A = this chain, B = another copy of it.
Amino acid sequence: MTADLSRLSLNTATTKRWTLREAVDGAVRAGLPAVGVWRDRVQEVGLAEAAKIVADAGLRVSSLCRGGFLTAEDDAEATAALDDNRRAIVEAATLGTHELIMVVGGLPEGSRDLVGARRRVADRIGELAPFAAGHGVRLVLEPLHPIFAADRAVLSTLGQALDLAEPFPAEVVGVVVDTYHVWWDPDLQPQIARAGAAGRIASYQVCDWILPLAADPLLSRGHVGDGYIDFPTITRWVAEAGYTGDVEVEIFRESVWDAPGDETVGTLAARYREHVQPYL
């Protein structure tokens, strides 16, 4: 393993065509010490086998993606969502990761009650927290870019995520700093500092903001360095906040997915060395 990649983690969504085993092997070949794992890749092979694949390769699991979707107004849907989150918590514990990324969900179908949806998220984090704590897993709140406020996550800023996290111990509810989602925030530096001081930065995820947006804006994420984000500055803020954990590269983009996996991993490692690692 190259020393300067010692905090770099491959999120399995970045190499979308690879199975979990292929992603783990690809990470090992490139000298990466960790993977961030999506649940679909775990379910493909089964939880026990997934845990074995990662452990046998000697990799860390930097995070499990993802729980959440907690905004339902309907009781049955809400119950189903809570059950699914409990399964995700068990999966995270079994895979040996402390961090379960939570995308909290958008407005329920036909609803415009953003204030109410946000209140339900807070309530349901409260319901899940004891179960997560009992399994040694942290619920990691992910603020999403406001472009997704209607349809994917009513959690829109790091400050809002920290307000939500505040009633809970730092080891039970944390936040992720994902550059794509938060780079624009005029309050970013103080909120990263606040998150670090509270011990709540559970993950630092990097990818770039590319224009023009893809038809599905979710797929506008790109390789670090290809877009508008100032990685040296944001990375310094994260480092100054005391974060010493893994840096995950999570890219959703057709052209990245169409490239051979090893090429994608090579590119992201090179970009990490240039734009991120020197500032950590």
Contact = CB atoms under 8 A, between A and B. Distances in A.
Interface of A: 107, 112-115, 118, 145-147, 149-151, 156-157, 159-160, 163, 183-187, 209, 211-213, 215-217, 227-230, 233
Contacts of A227: 150
Contact of A183 (B114, B159, B184, B228): B114
Contacts of A186: 118, 156-157, 159-160, 163
Contacts of A149: 183-184, 228
Nearest to A225: B112
Contacts of A150: 184, 209, 211, 227-228
Given A113-B230, A230-B113, A230-B114, A185 B213 contact: no
A100 to B, nearest CB: 22
A277 to B, nearest CB: 17
A228 B212 CA distance: 23
A118 B107 CA distance: 32
A145 B156 CA distance: 12
7 contacts: A114-B183, A114-B184, A147-B217, A149-B228, A151-B211, A160-B186, A212-B215
A175 to B, nearest CB: 14
A151 B184 CA distance: 11
A112 B228 contact: yes
Contacts of A118: 186
Contact of A112 (B115, B185, B229): B229
A228 B209 CA distance: 24
Nearest to A216: B212
A228 to B, nearest CB: 4
A146 B184 contact: yes
B145 A115 contact: no
A118 B159 CA distance: 20
A213 B209 contact: no
A108 to B, nearest CB: 11
Contacts of A112: 228-230
